[in-house]
Structures are given as structure tokens and as C-alpha cells.
Amino acid sequence: MEKFHTIRCCYCIYDPVICLFSILTKHKTCHFVFINFIDMGKSRPDIYILFLDINECEEPETYSCYGTCLNFPGTFQCRCPNGTNGNPFAKGGCMIIRNSNTGLTIGLGVGIGTSILVVALGAPIITRKIKLRKMKKMRQKYFNQNHGLLLKQLISQHADIGERMIVTLRELEKATNNFDRARVIGGGGHGVVFKGILDLHVVAIKKSKIMVQREIDEFINEVAILSQVNHRNVVKLIGCCFETEVPLLVYEFISNGTLYQHLHVEGPESLSWVDRIRIALEVARAISYLHSAASIPIFHRDIKSSNILLDDSLIAKVSDFGASRYVPIDQTELTTAVQGTLGYLDPMYYYTGRLTEKSDVFSFGVLLIELLTRKKPFVYRSVDGDSLVSHFEKLLATSNLAGIIDLQVMEEEDGDVQELATLAATCTKLRGEDRPTMREVEMTLENLFVKKKVVECVTIPGRNEVQTHISTQHVVVSTSRQYTMEAEILLSASYPR
């Protein structure tokens, strides 16, 4: 039997015949059988090897297949599973294939994902940089354009503007918290005024709403004029910004609103009679200065109560010079497009387009009537349909002013209403040559104010001595001293005329 144990595999199948006996033997990888056949002419048994099919895959430990086993007749195959490679006949011999395409796919995925992330994170930064660069170019464009217009106008007037007055847009954005609506303190159809803090000073910043060439021209004109004006009763221009389509103007901050707001308050009482005379005098001083004492005569062209600002001490400040015009020294009038406010507008200027200093005188006369009556010139109509000026003049001519004068004035005045009413009527005469000059108006008001004999309280530091006075309606407080009536007159006389 030993020689049969050395047989390693079976190679043939013999069709069986009648078998007398058989013995099945198993040796490693081969099954064989001893078969005794009865064969013709033979007396002894023959030995034949008969192949018997078995399933090696059912015995992986015996046949050492640790991969995927496939059974075939007489044999089997052992392979590594899909996605692996190596020796399937050894434990752990099949290793996952590191496919180069998989790595490439993963790499591309990671790369694309990273790129998308970078773009997503970087897009706002890139967009902001592009926007900032564009804004910088636009600011430079507007600066060159507006500054050029200003320089052209200043050169034509032999004037100048200091570089210290030029403010950047970034400074104004910081001063107003990026033009926060909560900082708005005034404005109208043409623009808004913001309150801000610039160089530790409270300022008012005028920003236009309407971006048309006329607005640009008016703002440039206002810068050119105010840069040449220095008067205590004219609002002071601190700076200007040319980096926007319409320049931004920076003024001293006047904290107490406009004359219009104080005069037309709800209720029976408004500004005192003494305050009204003093405010009229201060406005007259400012206009007289513009007409005759400035380096180049200036016609304001829009004198009205809403353009008169009042500070905490009710000191008047003339503002809004957008419509103002320089006047060549050798000329007394200009022919321009009509501009101003109905109710205050000189009728001769309205019909002829010829602007003279007497046009401002007419507007000031209307302002005097407004102070006397507390009526609004641009809306008032009498029962007969007359304007405020016409109705006032009719009542003055018939000595019936009591029918239109403010009751508070009637109670407080002491005989000087008639004088002020006469001055107002003279200022509003139809023909310009029949009106006084602003210098004459100023002198008349000063005389009227002196007659009031307003003597202010003066407290001497370190003492408890108080000088009595006739009227305590108003005390003008300066940062360093208090002005008496005499000091006011001397101060006025010190201004160049």
C-alpha cells in the first residue's frame, strides 16, 4: 500500500465495470480506490485509480485558501478578493490595492474642496479690496474734479484756501459714525446736516442729496465764499471734502436751531422783543459786512429766518451761502438766473434777473416783518389775498399795525415798534433805489438798540457784586467775557466796513 501513498494526484477516470470489492483511500490531495474487476482472461485483480471529485473550498484550513475559493472538477482556485492583491494562501496575504487612480481622485477631490473653501473665504476679501480700490479711484476722481473747480473759482477771484481746510472722506465717516442717521440734525430737500466730532470739536457736516451739476456748483461756490469770510455773525466754515461727487462742507456746530424754529414755536410766547431787535441787528451786521467789508462784495441772495442759526446764547449766525454770488468790485449788479425763496424774494430781481445789494435789503425787510408779526412770509395771505409784505404796508399806512403785530411784542415794546415797522417798510419798497443800504439799516438798528438801554448783568469773579440792569431778557455769554451793550457797539465798529 505504501506505493499508493506516494501518488500525489489523479489523472484518469476509468469507466467502472462490475466491481467485486473496493477500498477507498485518502492521501493528502488525492483520493483513489482499489478496485477488483473481473476481466476477461484474467485471474487476479487489477488496480485502477479512480478520480473522485471533492470540494476543496469547504476545507480552507486543509487547502490553505484565505482568499476567494473557486471549486472546479478535480481542482480549485484561490484568489484574492476584488480590490486586493497578494498571496491568498497565507493569512493576511491579500492586501488592499493602492490604486493610483483612487489616489488621484482623492487628491483632486481634496484640491477642489480646498480651492472652493479658499474661494469662499477669500471672495469677500477680494471683493472688498476691489471695491476699496474702485472707491479710492472714484474719490481721487471727484477730488481732482471738485478741487479743480474750486481752484478755478478762487483764482478768478484772486482768493485762496488753506490746505488745512481740506478734510478726507475717511475722517468725516469716522466723525459721523459712517453718516449714521441718528446723527442727522437738520436738512431738507437738498440735503442733510450731520452732527459729528472732528479733532475733538463738535461740527456740523452738510451732505447733499441731489447729485446734479447745480448742486456741485453751489457747494463749490459756498466753499469759495466762506473761505474768504470771517465775521462773528456768519457761520464759520471749518473744512471741506472733495472726495464725493458733491463736496461735503464742515461748519462750526451751532447748537440752538434756527431763528425760524424759535420764532414759530407753538404757544403764545416766542423770542422776547429785545432778543428780536438784537438778532435783527446781528443779521444786519453780517449782511453789511458781506456787502461792503469783505475782500470781494458778496450778495447772499437767500436771506430768511431758516438760514439764520442761533447758538446757546441766541447769537445769530447767517448760514447757507450756496446761492450767494461774488460781485466784481467795479460792478453794482449781476444778471443771473433767479434763485431764492418766495415770500422773501425781491420782486424786481424776480422780474428782471438783475441781482443787486438791494435784493438782500428787500429780503432782510421781510425778515423784520416776520420778527414783528410771527407770520410766515411764504404762506401768509390776508383776507383780501395780499402777501405778508403788501398787507403789512397797508396796515402801516393806515396806522393799524395792531391788527398784525405779534401780541407778545405789543406787550413788551415801549414805543419802538413803529420805528422798526417803518424801517421794514422802507427795506421792502418796490424800487431798489428807494431802499436803504445794509450799512444804513445796521446803523438804524444800532440806534434803536441803544435806545432800549439794555444793560447786562456782569458778575465780577471773586465777588458777589451784580450790576443791575433795565432788561434781563438776554445775556450774551462769551467763552472769556460777557458783552455789555457798549461792548457790542464797539465790537461792531471794529469790523472793517
Query: What is the predicted pLDDT for the residue at 364?
Result: 97
Q: What is the DSSP letter of 101?
A: H
Identify the three-state secondary structure at position 357.
helix
Query: What is the predicted pLDDT for the residue at 386?
Result: 92
Closest CA to 322 of 190, 232, 184: 190
What is the spatial distance between Cα 448 and Cα 5, in angstroms, rounded to a whole number? 150
Phi-psi region of 435 (alpha: psi -120 to 50; beta: other; left: phi over 0): beta
Catalytic position from the list 46, 53, 275, 302: 302
Q: How far is CA 63 from CA 25, 57, 71, in A?
A: 18, 8, 12
Residues in the chain with pLDDT values less than 70: 1-53, 99-105, 139, 142-164, 188-190, 209-222, 294-295, 322-338, 453-497
What is the spatial distance between Cα 196 and Cα 241, in angstroms, rounded to a whole number? 14
**Residue at 54: amino acid letter:** I
**307 CB neighbour count, 10 Å cutoff:** 24
Cell, residue 436: 436803504
What is the spatial distance between Cα 395 and Cα 397, in angstroms, rounded to a whole number? 5
What is the spatial distance between Cα 194 and Cα 180, in angstroms, rounded to a whole number? 8
Query: What is the predicted pLDDT for the residue at 142?
Result: 67
- Beta 201-208 vs 191-198: how paired, if at all? antiparallel
HSE-up of residue 383 (Cα within 13 Å, Cβ side): 4
Cell, residue 370: 416776520
417-427 vs 388-397: helix crossing angle, rounded to 10: 130
CA 32 to chain centre: 101
Query: What is the predicted pLDDT for the residue at 152?
Result: 52
Which H/E stretch holds residue 198?
strand 191-198
Is 141 within any annotated ligand binding site?
A: no
Which H/E stretch holds residue 421?
helix 417-427
Cell, residue 73: 472538477
Distance from first CA to last CA of the chain, Å, rounded?
149
Helices marked H in 7-156 — which ranges?
A: 60-63, 100-156
Q: Give the list of residues 6+ apart from residue 346 with CB closer than 8 angstroms, or none.
A: 340, 358, 359, 362, 363, 432
What is the spatial distance between Cα 179 and Cα 375, in angstroms, rounded to a whole number? 35
CA 299 to chain centre: 33
Query: What is the predicted pLDDT for the residue at 212?
Result: 62
CATH C-level class of 118-253:
alpha beta
- Beta 316-318 vs 354-356: how paired, if at all? unpaired
- Strand order of the β-sheet with 237-241 is 184-187, 191-198, 201-208, 248-252, 237-241
CATH for 259-451, among 1.10.510.10, 3.30.110.30, 4.10.93.10, 1.10.10.1110? 1.10.510.10
Contact 282, 364 (CB under 8 A): no
Rg (CA), the chain: 53
Provide the whole-model pTM: 0.61
The domain ranges of the chain are 2-96, 118-253, 259-451
What is the spatial distance between Cα 89 and Cα 87, in angstroms, rounded to a whole number? 6
Cell 447786562 belongs to residue = 456
Closest CA to 438 of 383, 357, 496, 494: 357
What is the spatial distance between Cα 335 and Cα 356, in angstroms, rounded to a whole number? 9
Give per-residue pLDDT as tens, 3-62. 343 333 443 444 444 444 444 455 444 555 545 444 545 555 555 555 566 787 887 777
Cell, residue 275: 432778543
What is the spatial distance between Cα 327 and Cα 333, in angstroms, rounded to a whole number? 7
Active site residue 434: no
